[in-house]
Structure 1
Amino acid sequence: MADFFHTLVTQRADLLAALGQHLLLSVVSLLIAIVIAIPLAIWVIPKPRTANIFLQITGVLQTIPSLALLGMLIPLVGIGSVPAVISLVVYALLPIFQNTYTGLTEIDPSLEEAATAFGMTRWEKLRKVELPLAFPMILSGVRTALVMIIGTATLAALIGAGGLGTFILLGINRNNNTMTLIGALASALLAIVLSFALRGVKWIRLKPFLITVAVVILGGGAFGVYKLVQPQPVEITIAGKLGSEPEILINMYRDLIEADNDNVKVTLKPNFGQTSFLFSALKAKQITLYPEFTGTILEGLVKTPQTRATSATGIYHQAKTAVQQQDKLTYLAPLKYNNTYALVVQRSFAKKYNLHNISDLAKISDQINAGFDLEFLDRSDGYKGIQQRYGLDFKTQSMSADLRYEALHQGKVNVTDGYSTDSQIRQYDLVVLKDDRHLFPTYQGAPLMRTATAKAHPEIVRSLNKLSGKISAADMQEMNYQVNVKRVSAAKVAHNYLVTHHLLGGEH
């Protein structure tokens, strides 16, 4: 409990920001779903066949896994809040539409006849009789949709939309159960509070409620238009993938840029998501730059060159040239360390079977139970490459990259993939098997940005290039250890490195 309250106090600013993002995503999505579903349900009342078609469509949409839906939306609308809101609206449509339609069609026919006898028009019947009678049922559908939205919105963190999912992902990534618990509890409490708030709506009149909803929607739209027409300050948005290492690097980028350029405002988006998300966001101008690795560019982001370079310098120049020609992106000078893939085992396991190299696994392939990240399983420089170059074929299972070290530590798997600078290698005293057949290419990190931005802001390029050739593998592993195990903030770790290595003054 002491750790829980300590984390709650130290992370309160980040928690409040994430809570605000989560609340905004949820409320906006709910209002859009209400505006779509309720009028649609009213329109199909006289058309039972059409109503049944819409019920089937909204039901099918709800069966689409949320991650799959987000993945399908990314190529169409990019990443960030827009695909998150669209997916949340999709999941909210069914309960609102279904309850509205059911509430309006199950009204006592005698009341409908009485309204007609009084000479009411279709609109008057709807406004004065049908909607007030169906209101409790409609509100029940809205509450169901709200709870569903708040729970699903935690996945928005995977595509850079923020929210409480950021805490959950960070907790899993850093093996920090307290952060995961805080994110989950905050999400659950938000759902409970808002659900009770909506429950109280049934005690107010329908007309004021509808007017309030309309005012909120129109006010939000007007504010959005105002923000669009207002001149926006020039900003540099730096994003990072999930994990401590990208967060450390982007904090270094920010410190260097802001120290050299008083007129530049830098916004950080840590834990923005997977490689494909950031690459898409960069090309769509949703972010300005992010740290990427040479091997990742050649293996997954550009067409693979027919003749592959083998030296670190050659691999960097191939990656730089390919990403420039294909996507008009500029790849700045790389860091020193090589954060390549690695196969990792427990020290006791390595000692028992005399394991030093990856090829040594051949003699115990029938005893191997490997847990690999899904991306590693599917990469030519991952398990597929191991099968081809080493002739190995053993039992594997896919698991989250954040959980694989914990599974290895607990003995649930005996081999896993990792990166050479992972802090868990030191934390759990693990052994990295030597890549004796040179499968894994060099992975040196460097800032990747749009060429237009690099040309327009050469001063930013100069600031970032101060890291060229800096940071050893030992340095990065130690910094990851400080963040993941010692729980020092990534910003502080990054700043301390820059000051210690005379890349920055001591002020902060």
Structure 2
Amino acid sequence: MIEQITQILTTQSGELLQALGQHLEISLLALLIAAVIGIPLAVILMTHQKLAEAMLQVTSVLQTIPSLALLGLLIPLVGIGTVPAVITLVLYALMPIFQNTYAGLSGIDPALKEAEVAFGLPRAKRLLRIELPLAMPLIISGLRIALVMIIGTATLAALIGAGGLGTFILVGIQSNNNALLLVGATLSAGLALVVSALIRWLGMLSFKKITLSLAIFVGLFGVIEGIVRFQTPQTEITIAGKLGSEPEILMNMYRDLILADRPQYKVSVKPNFGGTTFLFNALKADKIDIYPEFTGTVLQTLVKSPTKTNQNPVKTYRHAQQALQTQFNMAYLSPMHYQNGYDLAVSAVFAKKYNVRTISDLAALNRPFTAGFDPDFYHQKDGYQGLKQTYHLNLDAKIMEPSVRYKAIADGKVDVVDGYTTDAEVARYKLVVLEDDRHFFPPYQGAPIMKAEFAKKHPEVVKALNRLADKITENEMQQMNYQVQVKHRKARDVAHDYLIEKKLITK
């Protein structure tokens, strides 16, 4: 474990620093906005006790809403990336900041307030010279609590493409790489401790020095943001993908193919971005430009398709391509060779004990075996929802992250898992894939999906990505997944090596 951590720190130092910077940027921006809202609001409501109590209740309720639910509610309104992440963090930070500011101001001795009035001090001077300095210890305490909370919650920003240290945690979970997970979690905790100590030190300064320090910080923050945005290149392409090693491998192939022809472009890769519907909505909203999608999923989940999905891969692709063009004005490029279809798998011990070889055999047992399914498979029509109707399955299904469900079946925690035909874990854990004897699962060939407008504007990108047409076999994909998930190689290195080996790029 120590060797793995050392290797990560030495080989991925650049990515770690970038993620650390993103995490800090999101956290400080959220804290700043929450402070700008929470502190003045507490000052204003000082003379309106009932409104202040109502505000306390509202901010308390906001904290009871799961952060993932808040992100999901915000995405249709403001899109993906940094904006919904910051809004969510601001909502979480409001309560401790508002509550502590209000408590600090309310706790000032009434006799002192009467003396202020008796001396004829204007309201603004009373607030700035006496009341806020006296309340400052509690205000600083509220800021510290809020910031620690923000930094911990900000790890979820990686799920919606905002980056940060959560990226390493997610990749660690997906690839079963505990060293990567530990590095991300430790850096997140360390960042919280360091920044909390800085705020505590800030609280020891005088009110004037605190105000000056905050003004300098806000100014520097604005200047840095301006420089970064000014230097953004004209052509920027964002490629995203679902959870798991395979989408990340494909995304990096897309990136390398584009950069091989257009090295001046800035191509951003956002792995572990979310589920099918989430990604498709992000594409429609112009928050991302490209992501890899599979033909069966297009027809079963994304488009309105009155007819049953054809079992012929060529016809399925053409149907999906036409439906995307007609219904959403989307371009669906030529697919790769391999099919990454869904399957159900059980352990070898389970298969032997109950003599099951097909999904029909499992259904015939008519027992509520425990199943671990990833979120996409559980909710989609081409997944469990359609499968249980076709086979009349009686399973106690639980939602699990992809890598977790395989570990669960290996440890005997669940009896059945969903998977893909290219998953490395099937061989790793010696699982038995049940035959889809009623041919429920449609063909699944992967191909880049993008807006037709984007494809027309960037024919060079279309040309580059079409080099993958009819490439990659199931065995090749399974081996690449094995390299990432079991050997813990970087997805981008595995993708790059494949493109070099197949002479799709030169370097």
Q: Higher mean Cα deviation, 51-60 or 90-99?
A: 51-60
How far did 1:171 drift? 0.9
Q: C-alpha offsets along residues 184-207 of structure 1, whole Å, 9 cap, x if unaligned?
A: 111111111111111111221112
8 Å contact from structure 2 (residues 406, 417) kept in 1: yes
How far did 1:15 drift? 1.5
8 Å contact from structure 1 (residues 79, 280) kept in 2: no
Whether 1:471 aligns to 2:448 is no
TM-score of the two chains, using structure 2 as the length reference: 0.95
Equivalenced residue count is 506
Local SS of the residue matching 1:342: strand
- Could you say which residue in structure 2 is the equivalent of 1:43? 44
- Could you say which residue in structure 2 is the equivalent of 1:421? 422
How far did 1:251 drift? 1.3
Whether 1:452 aligns to 2:453 is yes
- Could you say which residue in structure 2 is the equivalent of 1:124? 125
- Could you say which residue in structure 1 is the equivalent of 2:321? 320
Question: Partners in 1 of 2:294 and 2:269 — Cα distance?
Answer: 19
- Could you say which residue in structure 2 is the equivalent of 1:182? 183
How far did 1:337 drift? 0.8
Q: Higher mean Cα deviation, 488-497 or 464-473?
A: 488-497
Query: 1:106-145 residue pairs with structure 2 within 5 A?
Result: 106-145=107-146
How far did 1:37 drift? 0.4
8 Å contact from structure 1 (residues 79, 277) kept in 2: no
One-letter amino acid of the counterpart of residue 83, structure 1: P
Question: Partners in 2 of 1:218 and 1:301 — Cα distance?
Answer: 45
Local SS of the residue matching 2:112: helix
Query: 1:87-486 residue pairs with structure 2 within 5 A?
Result: 87-218=88-219, 220-221=221-222, 232-366=233-367, 368-486=369-487
Question: Partners in 1 of 2:188 and 2:52 — Cα distance?
Answer: 34
Local SS of the residue matching 1:440: coil
Question: Partners in 2 of 1:139 and 1:199 — Cα distance?
Answer: 7
- Could you say which residue in structure 2 is the equivalent of 1:499? 500
Question: Partners in 2 of 1:254 and 1:58 — Cα distance?
Answer: 42
One-letter amino acid of the counterpart of residue 468, structure 1: A
8 Å contact from structure 1 (residues 290, 447) kept in 2: yes
Q: C-alpha offsets along residues 363-409 of structure 1, whole Å, 9 cap, x if unaligned?
A: 43327222222332222222222222112213322222230000000
Q: C-alpha offsets along residues 209-234 of structure 1, whole Å, 9 cap, x if unaligned?
A: 22332343355456656776788411
Question: Partners in 2 of 1:269 and 1:231 — Cα distance?
Answer: 17
How far did 1:325 drift? 2.0
Question: Partners in 2 of 1:241 and 1:367 — Cα distance?
Answer: 29
Question: Partners in 1 of 2:378 and 2:29 — Cα distance?
Answer: 38
8 Å contact from structure 1 (residues 405, 416) kept in 2: yes
How far did 1:88 drift? 0.1
Q: C-alpha offsets along residues 111-137 of structure 1, whole Å, 9 cap, x if unaligned?
A: 112222222111111011100100001
8 Å contact from structure 1 (residues 146, 191) kept in 2: yes
How far did 1:69 drift? 0.4
One-letter amino acid of the counterpart of residue 330, structure 1: A
Local SS of the residue matching 2:414: coil
How far did 1:86 drift? 0.1
Question: Partners in 2 of 1:386 and 1:331 — Cα distance?
Answer: 26
- Could you say which residue in structure 1 is the equivalent of 2:24? 23
Q: Higher mean Cα deviation, 378-387 or 90-99?
A: 378-387
Local SS of the residue matching 1:370: strand
Question: Partners in 2 of 1:202 and 1:317 — Cα distance?
Answer: 64
Local SS of the residue matching 2:433: strand
8 Å contact from structure 1 (residues 173, 243) kept in 2: yes
8 Å contact from structure 2 (residues 368, 394) kept in 1: no
Local SS of the residue matching 2:403: coil
How far did 1:313 drift? 1.4
8 Å contact from structure 2 (residues 42, 101) kept in 1: yes
Local SS of the residue matching 2:488: coil
- Could you say which residue in structure 2 is the equivalent of 1:75? 76
How far did 1:173 drift? 0.6
Q: C-alpha offsets along residues 78-104 of structure 1, whole Å, 9 cap, x if unaligned?
A: 010000000000000010001101100
Q: Higher mean Cα deviation, 441-450 or 113-122?
A: 113-122
Question: Partners in 1 of 2:305 and 2:345 — Cα distance?
Answer: 27
Question: Partners in 2 of 1:406 and 1:11 — Cα distance?
Answer: 26
Question: Partners in 1 of 2:366 and 2:373 — Cα distance?
Answer: 15
Local SS of the residue matching 2:448: strand
- Could you say which residue in structure 1 is the equivalent of 2:85? 84
Q: C-alpha offsets along residues 19-57 of structure 1, whole Å, 9 cap, x if unaligned?
A: 111111000000000000000100111111111111111
How far did 1:328 drift? 1.7
Question: Partners in 1 of 2:79 and 2:304 — Cα distance?
Answer: 22
8 Å contact from structure 2 (residues 345, 416) kept in 1: yes
Q: C-alpha offsets along residues 166-197 of structure 1, whole Å, 9 cap, x if unaligned?
A: 11111111111111111111111111111111
8 Å contact from structure 2 (residues 290, 448) kept in 1: yes
8 Å contact from structure 2 (residues 301, 382) kept in 1: no
Question: Partners in 1 of 2:53 and 2:355 — Cα distance?
Answer: 66
Local SS of the residue matching 1:418: strand
How far did 1:306 drift? 3.5
One-letter amino acid of the counterpart of residue 249, structure 1: L
Question: Partners in 2 of 1:113 and 1:251 — Cα distance?
Answer: 67
Which sections of structure 1, spanning at least 5 residues, go unmatched?
none
One-letter amino acid of the counterpart of residue 120, structure 2: G
8 Å contact from structure 2 (residues 296, 309) kept in 1: no
Which sections of structure 2, spanning at least 5 residues, go unmatched?
none
8 Å contact from structure 2 (residues 248, 491) kept in 1: yes
One-letter amino acid of the counterpart of residue 188, structure 2: S
How far did 1:157 drift? 0.8
Question: Partners in 1 of 2:480 and 2:18 — Cα distance?
Answer: 26
One-letter amino acid of the counterpart of residue 81, structure 2: G
Question: Partners in 1 of 2:286 and 2:228 — Cα distance?
Answer: 18
Q: Higher mean Cα deviation, 379-388 or 464-473?
A: 379-388
Local SS of the residue matching 1:266: strand
Q: Higher mean Cα deviation, 404-413 or 356-365?
A: 356-365
Local SS of the residue matching 1:236: strand
8 Å contact from structure 1 (residues 157, 273) kept in 2: no
8 Å contact from structure 1 (residues 483, 493) kept in 2: yes
Question: Partners in 1 of 2:392 and 2:115 — Cα distance?
Answer: 81
